[in-house]
């Protein structure tokens, strides 16, 4: 299972995971209780119930670079253009905007 922490600004907003069944994004319970909590996307409003889908959520897929920058990422890290989650983990640690996707390596996250 591949997993990543998703930050809004400097606050941990939730965990994004990929497994054999597809994708899941779950907001962090402490983040949901914060007065400063804001949704990572208009298409993924704040809620306790996790988001699940068989394809990578469009908001996260949209963070992946395109064109020549995608070509460089694919060649540098030897990642297939079809492996969207791996591209997200490799390229989106410091995206434009206030969202960061930080890979979780070797850690299991509860309830994902």
Res 107: pLDDT: 52
Q: From the CB of residue 15, how many other CB atoms can be counted at a distance below 10 Å?
A: 21
Res 109: pLDDT: 47
Res 106: pLDDT: 57
0.75 surpassed by pTM: yes
What's the rounded mean pLDDT across residues 75-82?
81
Please tell me which residue, 81 or 98, carries the higher pLDDT value.
98
Q: Helix 67-77 to helix 84-91 angle, to the nearest 10 degrees?
A: 90
Contact present, 79 and 62 (Cβ < 8 Å) = no
Cα–Cα distance measured from residue 1 to residue 107, given in angstroms and rounded to the nearest whole number: 10
Res 73: pLDDT: 76
Please tell me which residue, 79 or 109, carries the higher pLDDT value.
79
What's the rounded mean pLDDT across residues 49-76?
89
């Amino acid at each position: 299972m591949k997993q990543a922490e998703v930050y809004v600004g400097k606050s941990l907003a939730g965990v994004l995971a990929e497994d054999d069944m597809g994708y899941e994004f779950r907001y962090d319970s402490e983040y949901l209780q914060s007065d400063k909590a804001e949704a990572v996307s208009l298409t993924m409003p704040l809620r306790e119930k996790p988001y699940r889908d068989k394809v990578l959520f469009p908001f996260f897929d949209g963070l992946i670079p395109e064109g020549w920058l995608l070509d460089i990422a694919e060649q540098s890290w030897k990642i297939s253009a079809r492996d969207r989650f791996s591209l997200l983990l490799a390229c989106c640690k410091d995206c434009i905007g206030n969202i960061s996707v930080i890979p979780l390596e070797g850690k299991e996250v509860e309830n994902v």
